[in-house]
Chains A and B, each alone.
Chain A
Amino acid sequence: MNVTLQIWRQEGPDVPGSFKTYEVAGISEEMSFLEVLDVLNERLVTQGEEPVAFDHDCREGICGSCGVMIDGQAHGPQLGTATCQLHMRKFESGSTITVEPWRAAGFPLVKDLVVDRSSFDRIIEAGGYITVDTGSAPDANLTPVPKPAADIAFDAAACIGCGACVAACPNSAANLFTAAKISHLNLLPQGQAERWARTENMVEVMEEYFGSCTNHGECEKACPKSISIDFIAIMNADYLKAKVKNRRLVAQ
């Protein structure tokens, strides 16, 4: 099949960018979208044009490195799928595909389709962990975790940190990412000790970099792991509690 790619090219953060159009002919529908970019890059290098920079690594939808806007959708038209797992059979031969980087103040552009997502690391550093020094853990089966709680915590923990939620959100909000990370720990018994401080700190660092949630639900659809916006509601509830809770009371 043949496709026309309209790709955002930008040398660096301080130079203006623009779309450039490339015809890519003779590809197979078994190929992944990133493999099409590989083919394009091979041809560009041969023709003497600098290849398109894009982030990618595991190519099995788990590392969260890849991610571009494809035809105005984060990770492209197939829901619940990271860019690397998107295959060309989802496109018609002859179609024009627009490819743009994530755009958000919290994700400043580096080059072409590459953005800097280190703001996500700052959110985790603000409290996205359970304090347990190596060696100090009790036996793993000491604390039973009801299966429904373990399952829902896992649903939240499935987040791959790709940033699609921010990219898709009309407000560039990172509430789905932050809520998933908070909920993963807040829903487990192990996470209770730091629950309120964690929620408060992570939400506030998030708001330094990202917009606010107005409940469009666009993030949930863009999420390659289909993480539910229910977690945002859980976070909102916990945030208020974090502000009013008497943290000296043990019963949480």
Chain B
Amino acid sequence: MTLQLDAKVPPGAIEDKWDNHKFSVRLVNPANKRKFKILIVGTGLAGASAAASLAELGYDVEVFTFHDSPRRAHSIAAQGGINAAKNYKNDGDSVYRLFYDTVKGGDYRSREANVYRLAHESLNIIDQATAQGVPFAREYGGLLDNRSFGGAQVARTFYARGQTGQQLLLGAYQAMARQVAAGTVKLHTRSEMLDIVVKEGRAVGIVARDLISGAITNHSGHAVVLATGGYSNVFFLSTNAMACNVSAIWRAHRKGAGFANPSFTQIHPTCIPASDEFQSKLTLMSESLRNDGRIWVPSRIGDDRPASQIPKEERDYFLERMYPAFGNLVPRDVASRAVKRIVDEGKGVGPLRNGVYLDFHDAIEREGRQVIQERYENLFEMYQRITDEDPYEVPMRIYPAPHYTMGGLWVDYNLMTTIPGLYAIGEANFSDHGANRLGASALMQGLADGYFILPTTIGDYLAGFLGQPPVPTDDTAFGDAGQEVRDRVDRFMSTRGSRTVDWFHKELGKIMLEYCGMSRSEPGLNKALSEIPALYEEFKTDVRILGTAGGLNQTLERAGRVEDFFELAQAMCVDALHREESCGGHFREESQTEEGEALRWDDDFAHVAVWEWTGDPAKPELNKEPLTFEAVNLSTRSYK
């Protein structure tokens, strides 16, 4: 163990920690803030909200996105909603309950203090977003509406039709646009970070490639913030956007940032099943659909009758059967595994038998088509566009797909990684969701980090550098990093192999989905760990990239991302192999109850597994941050 894993959790009772911390952190005088330059990579919810908030405070902010506009970040695709413990519904919600549900939903593998702070800040997020003009759903009286979401028994989810992520991102993007206009945020679009620059152990800048001109440029700042999202695309087929990747945090990892729980990935239960071999990505159908839709399959294997002709008594509403208390609203990991089990038994529906029904017939009968239409119209339309089937008439078909990664860069209570001056926020860090994220909590975390937490904690670090200008971009540290990036680009361009980047990505995805997907086993993971390096070697010598590096070259962009996926995939397998228990989204076949539920081993695995780069992607070094639970008792999750 060589990493210093001091979580810096403040003292005091759980509900006082954040206040205590805010009082103890060092502050930067308003007039001095403009002397500090902060580089932010990524413009999703976390990145855009952080950029806006830091610039409002007076910091000198530069923002980088590989998209043509900050508004395209994949936060925009989040559908269902955002949790907040407002208790507007008077149904017994509280900050403490949201905190408790999140820790429990994460199967007790998250850091208590961070989660409590998240639940606390959830209140402010809703206020902030509403004031920005985010058009949340409203009741007829003009006040905000809420709905319930998987894994919770209270209605605490705020939503904006099925486009909550879009509306929240536009809010953050617009707040940032105001700062761009004010000159406090400098925006670099179509600019991809390819490495971070570390000098004397501190993060001092980044190396980026202008995707249009191909120019590789150095950027220097007092602190670097990575808000670059998750890495579900390691599976190739996922609900992530095509460009989502691990490169930014992986490059940071290679420069010394600990990578926490890489194997903690979430497989979302309600996605549209793949239709053919050309499928390029999977489309999520919001979890909110499970509020009104009932999940079932025909009881008899091989029952090929159309859904409408199968009588009720010949249907298996298996979630309601297995989990009577939560029914169709069990957490995502539980639902996904149940669906996989049923499909593996051969009861799947659809032409490829790769899905289960999500049926709205009863809800439409109970509430009327009008009500259902108002709730889910855009989702139903999207489904129909993709499948050519009308969900008002025929039940949807769904199957789980990789969706979110709870793992990410290890961060302390200040959201700083193990590299001083390097921060990770949003999905890019590991901190709040443990081994499984509850629905509608990703938006909450991204915005809590960006709007409220980072702007408070970053000053504590910066205050120590008053009077010191950023490291000049012609420093040797930049020279070395820039040279590495150029060498890597040259290596790709000169490989001149025979196979496409996507071919390798698909093959890697198949291995990962098979052996490191919804269920994992020692033999499977070992197999993956022998297959991935072999495929990676082939990639290095046989990938074909045409065109030049001196201009827009989308294949070249993807090659770098896929190469990083190859290294990450090995870390994921190593981590999954290390964690011999089952918890949340991580299911080890060797560790299950008689009923096939996840079986945790708190004595051995109540820790964060933080991996340190050693130079060999298959042999990272393990560091542990022990998890202690003072406010919540460790117990077995039960949704029965």
Interface residues of A (CB under 8 A from B): 12, 27-28, 30-32, 34-35, 38-39, 41-42, 45-46, 48-51, 53, 55-65, 78, 80-81, 85, 87, 89, 110-111, 114, 116-118, 120-121, 124-126, 128-141, 143-147, 150, 153-154, 157-158, 160-161, 184-185, 188, 190-191
Given A157-B133, A161-B72, 6 other A-B residues pairs in contact with their CB atoms under 8 A: A58-B76, A60-B284, A121-B71, A134-B52, A135-B124, A145-B142
Q: Are B242 and A161 in contact (CB under 8 A)?
A: no
Task: Report chain A residues within 8 Å CB of B281.
Answer: 59-60
B141 near A: Cβ within 8 Å? yes
Q: Which residues of B contact A (CB under 8 A)?
A: 49, 52-53, 56, 67-74, 76-77, 86, 88, 124, 126-133, 135-144, 160-161, 163, 166-167, 170, 173-175, 177-178, 180-181, 187, 189, 212, 241-243, 275-276, 278-281, 283-284, 381-382, 385-386, 388, 451-452, 455, 498, 500, 502-503, 544, 546-547, 551-552, 554-555
Q: Are A157 and B388 in contact (CB under 8 A)?
A: no
Q: Indicate if the CB atoms of A137 and B131 lie closer than 8 Å.
A: yes
With A12-B551, A35-B279: A124-B546 Cβ-Cβ less than 8 Å: no
Q: Is the interface of A mostly helix, strand, loop or mixed?
A: loop
B241/A59 in contact, CB under 8 A:
yes
CA A50 – CA B124 in complex, angstroms? Answer: 49
Residues of chain B with a CB closer than 8 A to A128's CB:
174, 177
Query: Which residues of chain A have C-beta atoms less than 8 A from B242's C-beta?
Result: 56-59
B71 touches A64 (CB 8 A): yes
21 contacts between A and B (CB under 8 A): A30-B275, A31-B276, A32-B280, A38-B502, A42-B502, A46-B544, A57-B72, A58-B76, A63-B76, A65-B72, A85-B385, A89-B388, A117-B69, A125-B181, A134-B451, A136-B131, A137-B132, A140-B131, A145-B138, A154-B135, A154-B161
Name which residue of chain B comes closest to A154, CB basis. B135
Nearest residue (CB) in B for A225 is B378
Interchain CA distance A215-B56 in the complex, whole Å? 40
Closest chain-A Cβ to B13's Cβ sits at a distance in Å of: 24
Question: Given A129-B175, A141-B143, are A59 and B131 neighbors across the interface (CB < 8 Å)?
Answer: no
CB-defined contacts of A57 to chain B, threshold 8 Å:
67, 72, 74, 241-243
- Given the complex, which residues of A lie within 8 Å of B140, measured CB to CB? 147
B500 touches A42 (CB 8 A): yes
| Known contacts A38-B278, A138-B127, A157-B167; A49/B180 CB under 8 A | no
**Which residues of B sit under 8 angstroms from A110, Cβ to Cβ?**
212, 552
Closest CB pairs A-B (n = 9): A144-B142, A137-B131, A129-B174, A140-B130, A134-B53, A30-B275, A125-B181, A137-B127, A154-B135
B500 to A45, Cβ gap below 8 A? yes
Is there an interface contact between A65 and B135, defined as CB atoms closer than 8 Å?
no
Q: In the assembled complex, how far is the CB of residue B206 from the closest CB belonging to chain A, in whole angstroms?
A: 21
Residues of chain A lying within 8 A (CB to CB) of residue B452:
134-135
Is B546 a contact of A49 with CB atoms below 8 Å? Answer: yes
Q: Which A residues are in CB contact (< 8 Å) with B502?
A: 38, 42
Nearest CB in chain B to that of A64: its residue: B72
**Contact for A139 among B127, B175, B180, CB less than 8 A:** B127
Question: Separation in Å of the A45 CB from the closest CB of chain B?
Answer: 5
Closest chain-B Cβ to A27's Cβ sits at a distance in Å of 7
Cβ contact within 8 Å between A62 and B181:
no
- B143 to chain A: which residues have CB within 8 Å? 141, 144
Kindly state the separation between the CA atoms of A167 and B49 in the bound complex, as whole angstroms: 31
